[in-house]
Amino acid sequence: MEIFDPTISAEREAFSYAPRPKDLHGLKVGLVENTKFNSETILRKIAERLDERYKVKLVHVDHKQSSSHSVADDGLAKLKEQADFVIAGVGD
């Protein structure tokens, strides 16, 4: 008998991880805040600790439209332009 497959496999997109910084001293950090409660609080606290330990400078905080949305293109452009590395995370 015939079997009809109702599924679709997600298209795989080739990507590679950005190289991790060998040394954080003096770098510029960007944050991606996902709008959930405490997200910005915990990310800013991490940025503060990085500043204390490594003199990392916070240069940009991106606020997503919602926790379910991707970072908007203009936000990505700002992060690429201004930050050496980016921290994103979920707070709740």
Partner 1 sequence: MSQTAPIKDAQALIELYYNKGWTDGLPVVPPSEASVGATLAAAGLQGDEVIGEIPDRHVRVTADKVAINAVLAGCLPEYMPVVVAAVKGICHPDYCYHGAATSTGGSAVATIVNGPIAPRLEINARDNVLGQGFRANATIGRAVRLVMMNAINTRPGKLDRSTLGNPGKYSLCFAENEAESPWEPLHVERGYRPDESTVTVFAAEGLIQIYNQLSSTADQLLLPFADAMSNLGSMNIAGQAQIVVLFAGEHCETLRASGWSKRQVKDYLYDHAKRTVADVKRAGRIAGPVAPEDERTWRHPVKSADDIVVVTAGGRAGAFSAVLMGWGSAAHTRSVTTPVVLP
Residue with tokens 């496999």: 9
| Residue choice 49, 69, 81, 90 for contact with partner 1 (CB under 8 A) | 69
Q: Output the CA torsion 56→29→39→20 (10° steps).
A: -100
Segment lying near partner 1 (by CB under 8 A), choices 2-10, 16-24, 25-33, 48-56: 2-10
For residue 73, state whether it binds partner 1 (rule: CB under 8 A).
no
The enclosing H or E element of 73 equals helix 73-82
- The least CB distance from residue 22 to partner 1, in Å, is 32
Q: CA 90, CA 3: separation in Å to the nearest integer?
A: 42
Segment lying near partner 1 (by CB under 8 A), choices 25-33, 42-50, 62-70, 81-89: 62-70
Token pair for 19: 């190289």
Token pair for 45: 């606290």
For residue 14, state whether it binds partner 1 (rule: CB under 8 A).
no
Interface with partner 1 (CB under 8 A): 1-8, 10-13, 35, 37, 65-70
